[in-house]
Amino acid sequence: GAGVSQTPSNKVTEKGKYVELRCDPISGHTALYWYRQSLGQGPEFLIYFQGTGAADDSGLPNDRFFAVRPEGSVSTLKIQRTERGDSAVYLCASSRGGKGETQYFGPGTRLLVL
Amino acid sequence: DAKTTQPTSMDCAEGRAANLPCNHSTISGNEYVYWYRQIHSQGPQYIIHGLKNNETNEMASLIITEDRKSSTLILPHATLRDTAVYYCIVRVDSGGSNYKLTFGKGTLLTVNP
């Protein structure tokens, strides 16, 4: 079946601009996660959704970052007033249930802030 | 979640078995060992996980020592497409804040022709 998809695959923006990154989880998966991966590092947790609600957003670096999942399926990660330090690969994962289920990752969105 | 230690890099000849070690000496009794890999420019790919028994699937085998302080991921017949960064992660599978995967830097496995 179809895996996790993310759009766009690449995004180039200018410092100070607003960006939205989209994640389509595997059909039927109730849990969704966002991670961020900087060059040469492993992915780092940002936020976890169970259904429509953000169960844990402790990994979001500051209040410029926000994510939504209004219908419990597609999620959008929103970054306001982008900074060069936001440049990274943003990864989305989904799992069938919540805690303990295996997470399956999408290909990521490569964000470059100039 | 317990911390893991992996070698930074390893090499393997094509067609030979690749054995990737992981130390997790502070693992708790209810923590599972997970392995993911990340091929260049792709998202992490789930490989296998286990608690204390050895596990095998179509991709790999996972050997966990009796004291559970270390494990080895085995790719029985490595191919060039297995070149990737391999991450060993320990995680509780129920209750608590176990949804987070805590990635280290992993092992870069290079399979040579």
Cβ-Cβ contacts under 8 Å, B93 against chain A:
99-100
In terms of pLDDT, which residue wins out, B1 or A83? A83
Strand stretches in chain B, DSSP E: 9-13, 18-23, 31-38, 45-50, 55-56, 61-64, 70-75, 84-92, 107-112
Closest in A42, A103, A106 to B87, CB measured:
A42
What distances in angstroms separate CA B109 from CA A10, A19, A86, B65, B73, one per listed residue?
A: 26, 34, 28, 22, 12
Cβ-Cβ contacts under 8 Å, B43 against chain A:
4, 91, 93, 105-108
Return the pLDDT at A81: 97
Count of residues making up chain B: 113
State how far the Cα of B52 lies from the Cα of B95, in Å rounded to an integer.
19
**Per-residue pLDDT tens for B18-52?**
999 999 999 988 889 999 999 998 999 999 999 99
- Which tokens sit at B29? 């009794």
Q: Minimum mean pLDDT among A4-8, A49-53, B7-11, B86-90: which range?
A: A49-53
Q: Does A44 sit within 8 Å of B42, measured CB to CB?
A: no
**Per-residue pLDDT tens for A6-47?**
999 999 999 999 999 999 999 999 999 999 999 989 999 999
